[in-house]
Structure 1
Amino acid sequence: MVTHTGPISIGVLGTHSTGKTTLLKRLEMELRANGLIVARTGRLAKRAAAIGLPKMQHHTTASTEWIITQGIADEIAAVAQGAEVVLADRATLDALAYFHAALEYRGETAHRLERERLRLLASTQVPTYNLLFATVLDESVPVDNAHDYDPRYRRLVDRHVHGLLADDGIPHRRVSSDPESQTQAIQQAVQLCLQEAAA
């Protein structure tokens, strides 16, 4: 992870309905209460779907590439617009995990060069994150009935998220659905941001 002074970048990744957005909303409130200028990116899958790209278990190379590159562009724009802290709702590796899970779900494989290209594209952004949070799937927590999630796909995404992080030895903090786990993650992030702001 980066150690230079300047805008702080915190990314979160994990399968759907595991508290990514809620965690970042809480963190954003805490940071703003401490006087920091915060930008939160997100809604990438919805924005991709709005322009006709597939999502969830239907992800393709194109939809994955769009989400990765749009996420990077959003994070760069947030810094350019003066954010002291950028909260990335779906760090770049998240899109890659969703893609790998979609391929496994459908029993398909992508061309080796396409897989490598997407992995390289997602990996280039990883060193810019000062802190990464990976949410952990807890299937005992009920899912909003408004969402028609496929349980098998949700499990596959969770496995691929944590597999990608482990494969590349990427430093991160696992965040469970336990309120104490989330509170500790927020405290860690706030402490980091305040230390950097004071440096």
Structure 2
Amino acid sequence: MSADNEVFRPVTVAVMGTHSTGKTTFVNELAELLRQDRIEVAIVADLGSHALEAGLPILANHTWASTTWIITRGISLELEAWTRADVVLIDRGVPDALGYYEAALESRRRVADPRHLKHLEDMVVGHSRNYDYVLRTVLDPTVPPGRNKPRDTDLEFRSLAGHRIEQVMQRLSIGHDTLPSGGHDKALVNAMAFVKGRLADPTSELGWDDEQPKRGDTQAS
């Protein structure tokens, strides 16, 4: 932990990607493995249903306001989770919301206000520096959307959202590994090794944007 940090930041793993690509399943699998080793874990869940309850549009209807709400609400919940866990797992890190916003605009054939876009990008980049290990799921178009959460059944929009999330992470230089929608075994091994290594040596605290050899866009499958 650096000397200017006022709050201890636990090891943080964030998973991004379009809907029905295995994010929640992976997060829950990783949490179970960590808890079996008696590691305190907190999960920050997808905020889509909470946005709907607040009267905000989601998915293809995203607006600048709803995107700002999801990003800032997500940041608040992540900071709160820092106080109660050794490891925080995030089901949809903040880059996700920006990717969905851009996909929503494209699907409606609209263009973002440059000022709004710059504000959102600054928040995403600034907070994503707190993510130690970042994964982006890869869409398998043969897997249908799940029914346990608010979903858009428009398969074209689901694909567009995945593409836009990938673009956001590349444009903002957010280093990450890719995660296949099925077959998480190797990805779980890699994530467990990373988390345990960081817990064993907290002085090795380095994020995806530090001056170091990066994992890059390597396959976790």
**Using a 3 Å threshold, how does the CA distance of structure 1 residues 114 and 148 change in structure 2: closer, same or farther?**
closer
Return the letter of the residue paired with 1:27: L
Decide whether the 8 Å contact of 1:13 with 1:20 is kept in 2.
Answer: yes
SS in 2 for 1:162: helix
Percent of residue pairs identical: 35
For residues 69-124 of structure 1, what are the alpha-carbon distances to aligned partners after superposition, in whole Å with 9 as ceiling and x for unaligned? 111111100012x2100001110000000000000000111211011111111111
Q: CA deviation at 1:183?
A: 1.5
Deviations 1:104-156 (A, max 9, x none): 00011121101111111111111110011100111112333675511111111
User: Which residue does 1:123 correspond to in 2?
Assistant: 125
Deviations 1:11-50, CA, capped at 9 Å, x for gaps: 0110001111011000000111111100001131110110
Which amino acid in structure 1 is aligned with residue 156 of structure 2?
R
- Matched with 1:66 is 69
Would you say 1:159 and 2:163 are equivalent positions? yes
Secondary structure (helix, strand or coil) at the match of 2:123 reads helix
Other-structure match for 1:11:
14
Other structure's SS at 2:178 match: strand
Q: CA RMSD in A?
A: 1.8
* Structure 2 SS opposite 1:169: coil
Q: 1:174 aligns with which of 167, 173, 178?
A: 178
Query: Paired residue for 2:191?
Result: 189
What is the TM-score when the length of structure 1 is the normalising length?
0.92
Q: For residues 107 and 17 of structure 1, what CA distance do their matches in structure 2 show? A: 24
Higher helix share: 1
Whole-angstrom CA distance in 1 between matches of 2:38 and 2:147: 37
Matched, 1:41 2:44: yes
Distance 1:64 1:122 in 2: 11
CA distance in structure 1 between the aligned counterparts of 2:124 and 2:153, rounded to whole angstroms: 25
Partner of 1:32: 35
Q: Where do 5+ consecutive residues of structure 1 fail to align?
A: none
* Residue 6 (structure 1) shift: 5.0
Following the alignment from structure 2 to structure 1, what is the Cα–Cα distance between the partners of residues 197 and 188? 14
Which of the pair has the greater relative contact order for Cα pairs under 8 Å at 6+ separation? Answer: 1
Residues 152/48 of structure 1: CA separation in 2 closer, same or farther (3 Å cut): same
State TM-score, norm by structure 2: 0.83
**Structure 1 CA distance, aligned partners of 2:147 and 2:17?**
19
Give 3-state SS (helix, strand or coil) of 2:116's partner.
helix
Q: SS where residue 128 of structure 1 aligns?
A: coil
Taking a change above 3 Å as real, the CA distance of residues 6 and 78 of structure 1, as seen in their structure-2 partners, is: closer
3-state SS in 2 of match to 1:174: strand
Aligned residues: 194
Structure 1 window deviating more from structure 2 (84-93 vs 188-197): it is: 188-197
